[in-house]
A and B are shown apart, each in its own frame.
Chain A
Amino acid sequence: MPNLKDSFEITECHALLQELLPPGGLADYLTFEVPQPTERSTLAGEQSLFPAPFADPAAGPARPTAEHLGHQTVPTQTAPLPLEQGHTEEKLENALKILCQRGGFSSAIIADDQGLALADFNSPVETDVLAAFATVLGGAIAQASHFLDQHEANNISMDINYADKAVVRKFMISSTPFYLFIICPQDIDERNEVELSLETISRLLER
């Protein structure tokens, strides 16, 4: 069966909906006011979330770069934040790069609460997929307040194979949640490095 986007059903819906438009069509302003859809047409699909890069635990933290995997490194046109595009984004990516180098992490990305990537460094899969996943884990953090009555919980760590772990650190900027997602070896303590970098990252995002 074709993707929903290419299916005849959605085309048929479109045609029928047009028959139901008001006589003069939609009011002009409506056709402009609607926020842009969060484009995410490139979901992983059959591709597994962590393919080759983590196959060999003995290989240590060295990872193929995003370029090797054929992914864009900076797919963040849809970032909804009023960042000075390019400038702030570059700085963010630089901060992530430094974080990874100093901490010995293999990947880092920053996602917003909608699951959109704001910046990434060396993401092993589609950045958007990782951003969506960061938000899912972030949702689990939020549940701590519900199930454990712990309102201060702000990070979650998950072993993703024998050697690596994924860590999500939730942080707030003017009461909006953001997520820093990193992948690093299980035997290192990533917390100090994460906290240090968060200061820089928050300052950049606050602009």
Chain B
Amino acid sequence: MATIISIAGHQGGAGKSSTTMNLGISLARRGHRVLLVDTDPLGAVAAAAGLPAGTQAGLVQIMKGCAPNQAIIESSLALPLALLGNGVKQPTDAFFLEQQARKGGLLPLIRSLAEDYDYVLLDTPSGIEAMSAMAFAASHTLLLVLPCHANAVRTLPGLLRLMVRVRKKLNPELHLLGILASHFDKQNPYEIDTLAAMRTTFTQGLFFSTIMPRSHQFERAAAHASAIQLLGQTREMNHLYDQLAEEVINRLTAGQSAGNNHAQPERLF
């Protein structure tokens, strides 16, 4: 069974979807079988992969029983990388997913999908929603993506409280794998200050050593509906994501002795 990782963050634009996509690519490049799941109703991962958002079948169709799982999961031609979209075409589809999440309906689905992979990365929505809670409940571990903005830190407790709640009520094994400082602008002294404040206050070692710098290349990637790693001239970013993948694997291996059995979740709401 795969290790299921929620890529989480409370702010839109924090870099969750970019991290999901690119970490997935780096893990797959190392030969691991990776499944990316778009649990965000806005479906940024599918869009980033060049799949037009809103036209693909996905979670919604599987939940409604319209299509078998394997028919819906897109497999990459080049890498052992697969993608499951959210299947949201209408606002009502998003409501449907949110409802399913409240009932805990998506949990067994994600767990059963995980059987065929080494890593499942769940791209989660921003904010505090049932979908995020469901993703956390289904996950073994959390990767928190955090921009180095003071406001991001000041509003972070809201998301952390949800994580702690899920851990207490639904998923006692859930823990934080690490925090990824993202969008970091090393020329902005205030961001340097914010990052320093966090790294000195939080338990040492919580931050990944890899820091994602702010880069224009992301916009170029978005313009091409591609992942930054698949564009040319992005060696530095590729290297950083490879390094992050290495850290993720190291941390998971180090934590494995703690075991990863999961209690059957109860209802959160």
Instruction: Using CB atoms and an 8 Å cutoff, list the residues of chain A in contact with chain B.
Output: 3-5, 7, 9-14, 16-24, 26-27, 29-35, 37-41, 43, 113-115, 128-129, 132, 135-136, 139
Contacts and interface: CB of A to CB of B under 8 A. Distances in A.
Contact of A40 (B175, B196, B203): B196
B261 interface: no
A9 B205 CA distance: 20
A11 B202 CA distance: 8
Given A4-B153, A40-B196, 19 more contacts: A13-B198, A13-B201, A16-B163, A17-B202, A19-B167, A20-B160, A20-B163, A21-B175, A26-B205, A30-B205, A30-B251, A34-B205, A37-B200, A38-B196, A43-B189, A113-B186, A114-B186, A115-B187, A128-B189
Nearest to B195: A37
A37 B199 contact: yes
Contact of B187 (A18, A29, A136): A136
B251 A27 contact: yes
B69 interface: no
Interface of B: 142, 150, 153-157, 160-161, 163-164, 167, 174-176, 186-187, 189-190, 192-207, 209, 251, 254-255, 257-258
Given A31-B204, A31-B205, A114-B186, A20 B142 contact: yes
Contacts, number: 126
Contacts of A21: 175-176, 203
A127 B163 CA distance: 41
B199 A10 contact: no
A7 to B, nearest CB: 7
Contact of A33 (B160, B193, B205): B205
Nearest to A139: B187
B159 to A, nearest CB: 9
Nearest to A33: B209
28 contacts: A4-B154, A9-B157, A13-B153, A19-B167, A20-B142, A20-B163, A21-B175, A22-B176, A24-B257, A26-B204, A27-B205, A27-B254, A29-B254, A30-B204, A32-B205, A34-B204, A38-B195, A38-B196, A40-B193, A41-B193, A41-B196, A43-B189, A43-B190, A113-B186, A114-B186, A129-B189, A132-B189, A139-B187
